[in-house]
Amino acid sequence: AYEIDLSFMGLFREVMRSGSLYVLPVPMLAFGAATLTVSFLPRMISDALAGELCELQPIGHLSKSCEVANGQMVNYFAFSTFLASAMGFFVQPWAGRASDAHGRRPLLLLAAVLGLLKPLALFAHISGGLDIRAYYLAGVPSEALPPASLLISWMADRVRPAYRASLFGFLTAAMLVPFSTLPLLGSFMTRRASIISGVGCAIATAAYVSLVLPESLGEHERERAKAKQAAQTAKLYAPDDCGDRSSGGCGGGGGVGARGSRRGCSFRLRAAAMSLFGPMIDILSRSRLFSTLAFLAFIMAVANSGNQTVILQFFNLKFNFTPRDQSLYLLDIGGSCIVALTVLLPTLLSRLGEVGTVRASTAVLVVHMLGVTLSPSKTWVYVFGATGSLAFVALPAISALKANHAAADEQGAVQGALYASAALGSAIGPLLIGSWLFV
């Protein structure tokens, strides 16, 4: 038992007690590598695909090659996001379970190394003429294993249950700091300087994780997770009626043996599939609460993935958004979300609880998405962008509800299953929103 204090000072004391300050630089550096180039990236890609300077042409008078390039860019974004998210649906549960058994740091280091690929692809494009399409391929593995779920698991290991939702909000806010500020900074820099700085942020992320970040999971929890996972695997691969029989039965000679061999192969394939998806399915179907939270994470990922990809291109075509306009939009959303996550979230949690907070933010999400896509002018885009910040407070509350109903040796598996649901939403989000906006 412990006294719960969700005031600013109470949260600060929990941060210091749990050592959560160690983890905050990781999302800032990791997302900094990706966001420094956001302001000019769509125009740079369309210029490269078209073979001419499309950004100098007024909206409504684009050349045929620029119109084709804009369409190709939307398709490439949608396809690469779909591919990365589809991979994430498989990778995230594996990474969560692996981090339970071997610790968070090795998996976070792997995510950091994969995060180098996208900025390196951009650097190779401006330096050696690498085809810009390689940028999309380079982003697939890094986006399939983002650090978010592993960082949430790291914090869940250290933070006491009553404080998790609020401090998960602080961690999400740390992820949004580069998202909201660095695109504007990048718009004042040359493209080459922004890309090189992104490479530097990615290298710094890997160095920090390997040299500074402590392991959050104790040896006892890791050994217990290994034993639990080994028992689950052994149960899946246990021989059935057609199992290891040396004579008669399915393993005997002749046609019966051939049929038994095929059944045995089929059994092993089913067991392998269940070893990957079985724990995730077990977690997501554990209760009505878990199933509902996974569905909400899926819906929010659909909206969020569209916000990060095709909506910016939509604004570029509808309102002639310049790199500075795109940076201001991201600052508008990111800054509002930081305020919501650090100031409003603790208040909502104390008055509505985790479930009430999730309900309220889901309603706001609908208003936000309709508002930004149907806005008649740039001004209304910014208005609905800011008011939509409340939509993003649901994610920390969902993660906390999951964490508080999970054992200490399965925090990674629980967050991995949750983020696999989100990955599925991210896979189809750009396709759905792109079809709605551009058809």
> Is pLDDT at 53 greater than 50 in this prediction?
yes
Mean pLDDT over 34-49 rounds to 80
| Cβ atoms of residues 392 and 364 within 8 Å | no
Tokens coding 431: 């396709």
What are the residue boundaries of the structural domains of the chain, listed by start?
8-55+63-226+279-437
Lowest average pLDDT, out of 60-74, 123-137, 195-209, 218-232, goes to 60-74
> Is pLDDT at 107 greater than 90 in this prediction?
yes
Rounded Cα distance between 294 and 398, Å, is 8
Mean pLDDT over 174-200 rounds to 84
| Cβ atoms of residues 373 and 384 within 8 Å | no
- Residue 309 dihedral angles phi and psi, to the nearest 5°: -125, -85
- Residue 70, judged by CB atoms within 10 A of its CB (0-12, 13-18, 19+), counts as buried
Helix/strand/coil percentages in the chain, nearest 5: 80, 0, 20
| Cβ atoms of residues 310 and 434 within 8 Å | yes
**pLDDT band at 246, cuts 50/70/90?**
very low
User: Taking the alpha carbons of 163, 166, 171, 177 in that order, is the dihedral positive or negative?
Assistant: negative
Rounded Cα distance between 248 and 265, Å, is 18
List Cα–Cα distances, 331 to 125, 176, 260, 279, 406, in angstroms. Answer: 27, 9, 62, 39, 35
Judged by DSSP in three states, 346 sits in helix
Residue-wise over 127-150: b if at least 16 C-beta within 10 A, else e?
Answer: eeebebbbbbbbbbbbbbbbbbbb
Half-sphere exposure of 126 (CA within 13 A, CB side): 16
Percentage of the chain surpassing pLDDT 70? Answer: 85
Mean pLDDT over 187-212 rounds to 92
Rounded Cα distance between 393 and 176, Å, is 12
Helix axes 394-404, 411-438, angle to 10 degrees: 150
User: Which residue type is seen at 159?
Assistant: V
| Cβ atoms of residues 149 and 95 within 8 Å | yes
pLDDT in tens, 111-156: 999 999 999 999 999 898 888 889 989 989 988 898 988 999 999 9
What global pTM score does this model have? Answer: 0.77
| Cβ atoms of residues 5 and 17 within 8 Å | no
Q: Higher pLDDT residue, 36 or 122?
A: 122
Name the region of 194 (left: φ>0; alpha: ψ -120 to 50; beta: rest).
alpha
pLDDT in tens, 379-415: 888 888 888 777 777 778 888 888 888 888 888 988 8
- Residue 406 dihedral angles phi and psi, to the nearest 5°: -125, 155
Rounded Cα distance between 299 and 287, Å, is 19
Mean pLDDT over 423-427 rounds to 80
Rounded Cα distance between 183 and 177, Å, is 10
Looking at residue 252, its pLDDT comes to 44
Tokens coding 52: 């001419």
Q: Which CATH architecture has domain 8-55+63-226+279-437?
A: Up-down Bundle (1.20)
